[in-house]
Amino acid sequence: MKPDNHLETSECRAISQMLSRVGDKWTVMVVTFLGNETLRFSELRRRIGGISQKMLTTTLRNLERDGFVNRTVEPTSPPSVSYELTALGHELLEPVSRLADWTRDNSHRIEEARSHYDRLTSK
Amino acid sequence: MKPDNHLETSECRAISQMLSRVGDKWTVMVVTFLGNETLRFSELRRRIGGISQKMLTTTLRNLERDGFVNRTVEPTSPPSVSYELTALGHELLEPVSRLADWTRDNSHRIEEARSHYDRLTSK
DNA sequence: CCGTATCCCCGCAGATACTG
DNA sequence: CAGTATCTGCGGGGATACGG
């Protein structure tokens, strides 16, 4: 962040919303698995592991609504539904992966701060 | 994101946690207001506006625990407590502001996608 | 195979009242 | 001034069952 300005209050809210939007329990994982290939619903679910059908549906619907994911239905029987990232979805991954890099590089500093804090406050 | 790799499952979780960690209701706003100056509790509260005492305390405690904020108590009467960003806190702002830039630049595309989606599904 | 409907639990967040 | 304690409502997210 530039030293001599800070975000406007309304922009802060927009950023918080985007962070929590993308930071919900499954979105990053779904977007990551769709990052390089188109996947069907059940294949996606199998790869993620541990996600309920309901939450995968919800997560994909929200991503579709925001224009991050495309949903394609093959009207076969039984139906086959596949998902892929849109251009916008790919673009979103860039700033998110920057934050991912930062998190990977600095998680040990956060861990240290936490254990230091906990040591001081627990006794 | 690089084309031929994706984040590991465990890393996805770490990123989701960081996103929701920073994406909670007040963190971005608090960090932003502390971005350029040290502030006392009540001054910070006054500037943010609309935050309860409890939530400001909680948000600051979490930031302190993670090493993003320093808390300094002047043992006067009544007490004076001031907060400032640590080096780690300032560094965190960099990738966050990248995402902020992206959000500002692309929010209209998301809005369009949403209204398009809602138009199709509401009828 | 893909999705929806229901029920339920739990933790975030606000309101309010009270202390050093 | 700067907290803590308590109560409450709301929404995310899981389990389960059912439908096209």
As a whole number of angstroms, the longest Cα–Cα distance in chain B is: 64
Cβ proximity of A109 and B18 under 8 Å: no
pLDDT in tens, B66-105: 999 999 999 898 999 999 999 999 999 999 999 989 999 9
Contact call for residues A109 and B67 (beta carbons, < 8 A)? yes
Instruction: Write out residues whose CB is closer than 7 A to strand C.
Output: A 40-43, 53-54, 57, 60-61, 71, 73, 78-82; B 24-26, 51-55, 78-79
Count the domains in chain A: 1
The answer, yes or no, to whether residue B5 has pLDDT greater than 60, is no
Global confidence as pTM: 0.91
- The C1' atom of D6 and the CA atom of B76 lie apart, in whole Å, by 29
| A114, B68 Cβ separation under 8 angstroms | no
Cα–Cα distance measured from residue B50 to residue A3, given in angstroms and rounded to the nearest whole number? 26
Residue numbers of chain A with a pLDDT score lower than 50 = 1-4
Contact B109 A88 (CB under 8 A): yes
| Residue range(s) defining the domain that contains residue B69 | 5-121
Q: What is the pLDDT of residues B15-34, one digit of tens each?
A: 999 999 999 999 999 999 99
pLDDT digits (tens, 9 = 90+) for A90-118: 999 999 999 999 999 999 999 999 999 99
Nearest chain B residue to A107 by CA distance is: B14
Nearest CA in chain B to A99: B95
For residue A104, the domain's CATH number is 1.10.10.10
- Cα A68 to chain centroid, rounded: 11
**What is the token pair recorded at B91?**
């560094």
Q: Alpha-carbon distance A115 to A112, whole Å?
A: 5
DSSP A31-99: HHHTSSS-EEHHHHHHHH-S--HHHHHHHHHHHHHTTSEEEEEE--SS-EEEEEE-HHHHHHHHHHHHH
pLDDT given for residue A6 in this prediction:
62
Residue nearest to nucleotide C5 (CA to C1'): A54
pLDDT band at B6 (very low <50, low <70, confident <90, very high): low
Judged by CB atoms closer than 8 Å, whether chains meet at B15 and A28 is answered as: yes
The residue of B5, B6, B117, B118 whose CB has the most chain A CBs within 10 angstroms, and thus the best one to mutate to test that interface, is B6
Q: Give bridge partners of residue A69 from the DSSP assignment.
A: A85
Could you tell me the two tokens for B117? 């989606």
Coil, helix or strand at residue B111: helix
Least CA distance to A89: which residue of chain B? B110
Give, for B73, the enclosing helix (H) or strand (E): strand B69-74
Beta strands, E only, A5-105: 39-40, 69-74, 80-85
pLDDT of B64: 98
| pLDDT band at B123; cut points 50, 70, 90 | low
How many Å separate Cα A94 from the centre of its chain? Answer: 12
Test A27 with B16 for CB contact under 8 angstroms: yes
Q: Is A91 exposed, middle or buried (0-12, 13-18, 19+ CB in 10 A)?
A: middle
**pLDDT greater at residue A55 or residue B8:** A55
Which nucleotide is the nearest neighbour of A81, by CA and C1'? C2
Report the alpha-carbon distance of residue B108 to residue B47 in Å, rounded: 28
To probe the interface with B, which of A18, A61, A63, A114 has the most B CB atoms within 10 Å? A18
CA distance B72 to chain A (A): 14
Q: Is A47 on the interface with B (CB under 8 A)?
A: no
